[in-house]
Structure 1
């Protein structure tokens, strides 16, 4: 029996059935991230003056939803790799569109975990792009850092990746000067 806050697993479940159950739960978890991102994008488009209120009424964390929407916005449904998790896509979402597909294809082909994809990308970035790296210095107060770290943890990201995602999302949602 499943409830919103627990899953009762019957005694005597075989290892194969237990593993299958875990895979089903993972599939639902990964799908729900896409679904929530797509839901928010729809709300932003169809109900621009009311979607924030609807989010509040659902009791969902606004920043987490914005992160889901940020990833969903970068991948049309046909660009999403069904064998890879939402988090795999989140890892490459900040890349140029033409770079995302090859990284996801490699991850799928080599059966990389999200963490391995991250390691591979960092290794490649260190070789190919060290001259392009820009260093920014910030001095957040303790409260800001704790709040940001907590938000990053809720999305499953490290702090730097989360900050980059939030800034990218903010940059793409700012209206142009012409309208």
Structure 2
């Protein structure tokens, strides 16, 4: 990995925009943000007369940078481990992210060389299949691209493919139909994601706890 290039992409918005208010497009290089926006370390500045289409485009660009940064961190860690073995662990301890998060980034980056990474899928999609054999990784990622699966849908499909046809002895399979506000469902999905569970698993755990 080109460490100078990676450093420039990661630090340019903070290093320049925080001091000068320079438009983001002049700071970020390859992954540019609409020039009507300017970035600081803890703030995004948008003009009051920003058109809706520009606002939508800026959102897409920010999400692209956010997802790309996971790959950048992973590649940065892999490079450091290979080149600076004696100082690698200390450098990890001095970052703002926790140790396990950094290990996850590096693990996924090692599992997927750049040529195998799908640009139209998120880093989290790749994390979902990273523990599978390489041919299975490609199989599921190809499906996710073709059918436009979310990360959660990809996880559900993988789990469903490995589930037994019949429920285990002593267990009964039931189906529930709930009418809920979309905002509430989204909160539940986010809570399930934080617990590394599917929505069904999370609901079951909450109900068990309440019982």
Q: Same fold (TM over 0.5)?
A: yes
In structure 2, the partner of 1:111 is: 148
**1:24 match: secondary structure:** helix
In structure 2, the partner of 1:33 is: 70
Deviations 1:92-151 (A, max 9, x none): 1111111000100100011111111111111112158x99xxxxxxxxxxxxxxxxxxxx
Runs of 4 or more consecutive aligned structure 1 residues displaced over 4 Å after TM superposition: none
**1:98 match: secondary structure:** helix
The structure carrying a bigger helix percent of its residues is 1
Higher relative contact order (CA 8 A, sep 6+): 1
Please tell me whether residue 62 in structure 1 is matched to residue 99 in structure 2. yes
* Counterparts of 2:59 and 2:164, CA distance in 1: 37
In structure 2, the partner of 1:87 is: 124
Structure 1 unmatched runs, 5+: 132-152, 162-179
Normalised to the residue count of structure 2, the TM-score between the two structures is: 0.59
Please tell me whether residue 102 in structure 1 is matched to residue 102 in structure 2. no
* Counterparts of 1:66 and 1:53, CA distance in 2: 13
- CA separation of 1:46/1:61 partners in 2, compared to 1, >3 Å: closer, same or farther? same
In structure 2, the partner of 1:14 is: 51
25-34 vs 7-16, which moves further: 7-16
**1:18 match: secondary structure:** helix
CA shift for structure 1 position 58: 3.4
Deviations 1:14-63 (A, max 9, x none): 22111111111111111110010011011111111101212233333222
Normalised to the residue count of structure 1, the TM-score between the two structures is: 0.69
2:89 to 23, 40, 52: 52
Q: Paired residues, what number?
A: 137
* Counterparts of 1:42 and 1:31, CA distance in 2: 17
CA shift for structure 1 position 7: 1.0
In structure 2, the partner of 1:75 is: 112
* Counterparts of 1:33 and 1:127, CA distance in 2: 34
